Structure 1
Amino acid sequence: MKTLKRVTLVLITLIMISCNNEDKTLTVEVFETSEAGNKLSKITEFKNAEEKVTIKLKPEEKLQTITGFGGAFTEASAYLLNKLSKENRKKIIDAYFSKDGAHYSLTRSHMNSCDFSVSNYSYTPVEGDKNLEHFSIEEDKDDLIPFIKEAMAASTDGFKIFGSPWTAAPWMKDNNNWVGGKLLPEYYDTWALFFSKYADAYKEEGIDIWGFTVENEPLGNGNNWESMHYSPDEMTNFVQNYLGPKLEADGKGDLKILGYDQNREHLKEWIDSQYKNEETSKYFDGTAIHWYASTFEVFPEELQYAHNKAPEKFLIQSEACVDAETPVWEDDAWYWKKEATDWGFTWAPEKDKHLHPKYAPVNRYARDIIGCLNNWVDGWVDWNMVLDTKGGPNWFKNWCIAPVIVNPDTDEVYFTPLYHTMVHFSKYIRPEAKVIALEKTDDKLMATAAINPDGSTVVVLFNEFKTPKTINLSLNKKNVEFTIDAQAIQTIVIPKNEKV
């Protein structure tokens, strides 16, 4: 009996020793892009920094489900890809869509022309064609559709694509113009049919459309390029009584309808209209937003309000870019400096000028994406994927910057730091990932985290300041210590065998 007790005691002691000696170090991979020159570089050696930050992941607190990250298929980008060598065209498409590249999962395209088209055009050119018997996407077959198909071929997991109209053809509008004006009530049925026909036409090309935004920038754009205006209640009426019922009647009720699709500072009034009651909410699957109201402000109160009003609906950032700037060629340092200005730096009303200071493009992207993820946004879509050295082509000469800049005359390609910034999110945080809560001891260090469907956990950090920081990251009583450089973005991948 005594022998049995001794054996039992020895076993218990050995188990306790084993537990006490269990490895408490968290296994991670760290990828960094920095002002110092790292470009998604895997970091394995770290120098200790004086500033210490503790981050505790809280996987038990799961938040929104990720829809995806990506960019927009525009005629401008497709037109430029047609001018490049086959090698560089493939290089860019693979960089955006392959598993080894950005692995984009959520994309957008314009229906009819937009400012980033070579010219004005409509799929419905015949005036008075109420039944859209002459509807045709022929205009897209030389550039947009081949671009989308090659992206599909490069993607291992596929991606969602939603369409956005900038305007109906002028003949459907009260001002008979590409710019401004409103849809005439007698064409509401015709315009709803337009969406249905677009989905059919693209399906015939082998492209499945995931959904739509009802109208790009329904508040207008200062009467500069293609636009069509709605008030919140006008858009709700169109969706509730025309677009939603039409898609349902045509067997397309699974296509997603996203309302609004403009800047966040006006979000509450649109949310209140869309989700006023069960009848108004029925056909809205979510809301789309843009970032152009500020170069630094995320508008967390508005985002929180939208989520709380309709917690089961999508909240997708559908467009963002460095606007009102011509691209800076092969100068990575510029993208980290606070020298860029946006439209509002010059044109915003005096009361809003404080929202539009000069900014660093990398900072703007990283801050906004993390800020959005920490305030219930489930998808984040960039604007043009490719532009030229002028910031076009754009028929209105509304120059902007894209993550990839090309010189079609010399067949050169420049992947700016904005491309690498996007990859930190799009490649590592996958569709159906769950954003999780975290605690950190430094409010200046930006951080977000998510658990992927494969069980891996991803943390993205952004240190926009000029001093490095030592990070102590913990998950489930395990921790790891590493350093993030000054002015750097890091993605930390915790493999699925670190049980969550």
Structure 2
Amino acid sequence: MKFSIALLLVSAVVLGQTKNKSNTDNLQPKPVTIYTSAPDSNLKMTKTGQETFKPYSQPLETQLCIFVHPNKKNQIFLGIGGAITDASAEVFAKLSKEKQEEFLNAYFDKEKGIGYTIIRTNIHSCDFSSGSYTYVEEGDKELKTFSIEHDRAFKIPLIKKAMAKAGKTTFYASPWSPPAFMKDSKNMLKGGKLLPEFYQSWANYYVKFVQAYEKEGIPVWGLTIQNEPMATQIWESCIYTAEEERDFLKKYLGPTLHKNGLKDLKITVWDHNRDLLTQRASTVLDDPEAAKYVWGIGFHWYENWSGGNPMFENVGKVHQMYPDKNLLFTEGCVEKFSAEKYQFWANGQRYGRSMIHDFNNGTVGWTDWNILLDQNGGPNHVGNFCFSPIHGDTSTGELIYTPSYYFIGHFSKFIKPGAKNISNSVSRSQLIATTFQNPNGELVTVVMNESDKELTYLLSNNNQVSELKIPAKAIQTLVY
């Protein structure tokens, strides 16, 4: 009996030591694998090394540090992607079969490319269409002539190919304007407003769109109510005040979707710049009858049109005000296309800077604008030519990869849907960073060097640090 008791005590001690060792091992970060893109070099999401962690308790003020706090978890990551517009689909159709396959791999293949999982598209025409069109004949309030035949030529085939390549995707759609006959201006372009007598007909239009796309085998995850509802543009546009968007949602669109079996569709409001973000969110979400239909608040990055800086802090304020709602970046691109700036590094930096700040302020997903444009930055039926991360030169048949593609890839290739944002901070303003923990437990930190010099910095995690270097103006992804 004494021997048995002694044996049990020894076993308990050994088991306890084994358990403690396991817990300690779990706190030991894996080696850091480094991927780097840098200007004036061949580094483009290139694996540039692997470093180990070592114990380190107290950094010095003279050291540049990124502090990662893995026990402080924030929003769940939805994904990253871009918009398949009419323009993108028309350019894609002009590429050779080999270049089409290269393009699909570049965006949607998780191994060969950057692993896009979000797709946005336009509900009938937008500026990045070859011309204005709708899905109904003019004056058809009852929508008896509704047809998406136009989209079957280019857009639907590309969406299907992208989804097949990506696997599980989040697909959502946005209108730029109701048909002209539904508006007070009788014009799809240059703003105008939806007439009250067409509120129900327009709500029915969304239902028809979702049902038609799903009949094509394209599952629709969500909708935004109106692209840029406070912008009178020379292209398709429509104005809603915050109160008008709120009332259209709660009295018409929300109930209509529910009545037609689409209550699980994710509805995103605003879909415009960060500048008026808090005002739109509060007007809609402080109304319980409207808020119950809202999945999230969408935003763009064009608030710097006035010469000011991006209003990243407004995203964080909405996240604090309404933590139960989601923030989704729904559009951004570099405007004013010029072929001379295909490789302009600052265009990519704009993406990296925005994505880091938006994710640190609670954003769950990030959607670029056109995934493909031609060598003129179009087609665009009003001449609003812009950049996309990849251009297809229809005269040479070649694909042109811009820095923006690689900057986006530093996030989308390594951060997986379902990841959790992890609190992190940086000790000096020369670096900015964001961190996620993937579902498999690995940590991913994306770092940008905002300075003109190579920097040495410490990555700190659980009182373990790894000493790393980042080239001037470079972006790095750290996986550990």
User: How far off is 1:26 after superposition?
Assistant: 4.1
Q: TM-score, normalised by structure 2?
A: 0.89
Structure 1 contact 275–309 (Cα < 8 Å) conserved: no
User: Which residue of the partner structure matches residue 323 of structure 1?
Assistant: 335
User: How far off is 1:169 after superposition?
Assistant: 0.7
User: How far off is 1:277 after superposition?
Assistant: 2.9
Is residue 105 from structure 1 mapped to residue 117 from structure 2 by the alignment? Answer: yes
More displaced, 292-301 or 166-175?
292-301
User: How far off is 1:92 after superposition?
Assistant: 0.6
* 24, 43, 47: which one aligns with 1:42: 47
**Equivalent AA in structure 1 for residue 34 of structure 2:** V
Structure 1 contact 326–389 (Cα < 8 Å) conserved: no
CA distance in 2, matches of 1:137, 1:193: 15
Is residue 258 from structure 1 mapped to residue 268 from structure 2 by the alignment? Answer: yes
**Equivalent AA in structure 2 for residue 83 of structure 1:** K
In structure 2, list runs of 5 or more residues that go unmatched: 1-5, 52-61
User: How far off is 1:52 after superposition?
Assistant: 4.3
* 448, 451, 455: which one aligns with 2:434: 448
User: Which residue of the partner structure matches residue 59 of structure 2?
Assistant: none
Structure 1 contact 166–227 (Cα < 8 Å) conserved: yes
Compared CA separation, residues 441 and 26, structure 1 to 2 (3 A): farther
**Equivalent AA in structure 2 for residue 92 of structure 1:** F
Instruction: Write out aligned runs for 1:15-414 (5 A).
Output: 26-37=30-41, 38-44=43-49, 52-100=63-111, 101-127=113-139, 129-156=140-167, 158-179=168-189, 180-221=191-232, 223-294=233-304, 297-328=309-340, 332=343, 335-336=344-345, 360-414=346-400
CA distance in 2, matches of 1:81, 1:307: 37
Structure 2 contact 29–461 (Cα < 8 Å) conserved: no
Instruction: Write out aligned runs for 1:455-494 (5 A).
Output: 455-494=441-480
**Equivalent AA in structure 1 for residue 351 of structure 2:** Y
In structure 1, list runs of 5 or more residues that go unmatched: 337-359, 495-500
CA distance in 2, matches of 1:26, 1:432: 21
**Equivalent AA in structure 2 for residue 213 of structure 1:** T
User: How far off is 1:199 after superposition?
Assistant: 0.7
Structure 1 contact 52–469 (Cα < 8 Å) conserved: no
User: Which residue of the partner structure matches residue 430 of structure 1?
Assistant: 416
CA distance in 1, matches of 2:40, 2:336: 27
Structure 1 contact 25–479 (Cα < 8 Å) conserved: no
Q: TM-score, normalised by structure 1?
A: 0.86
User: How far off is 1:299 after superposition?
Assistant: 1.5
**Equivalent AA in structure 2 for residue 89 of structure 1:** Q
User: Which residue of the partner structure matches residue 343 of structure 1?
Assistant: none
User: How far off is 1:309 after superposition?
Assistant: 2.3
Structure 1 contact 236–274 (Cα < 8 Å) conserved: yes
**Equivalent AA in structure 2 for residue 32 of structure 1:** T
RMSD: 2.3
Query: How many equivalent pairs are there?
Result: 450
**Equivalent AA in structure 2 for residue 253 of structure 1:** K
**Equivalent AA in structure 1 for residue 48 of structure 2:** I
1:368-412 Cα deviation digits (max 9, x unpaired): 110101111111111011111111110001010000011112111
Structure 1 contact 26–474 (Cα < 8 Å) conserved: no
CA distance in 2, matches of 1:411, 1:327: 16
User: How far off is 1:24 after superposition?
Assistant: 6.0
CA distance in 1, matches of 2:154, 2:406: 25
CA distance in 1, matches of 2:286, 2:170: 28
Structure 2 contact 33–50 (Cα < 8 Å) conserved: no
Structure 2 contact 356–433 (Cα < 8 Å) conserved: yes
**Equivalent AA in structure 2 for residue 256 of structure 1:** K
1:238-277 Cα deviation digits (max 9, x unpaired): 0001000000011100001101111111112101111123
1:215-254 Cα deviation digits (max 9, x unpaired): 0011124x31001111000000000010000000111000
Structure 1 contact 55–440 (Cα < 8 Å) conserved: yes
CA distance in 1, matches of 2:85, 2:338: 18
SS where residue 401 of structure 1 aligns?
coil
User: Which residue of the partner structure matches residue 344 of structure 1?
Assistant: none
SS where residue 339 of structure 2 aligns?
coil
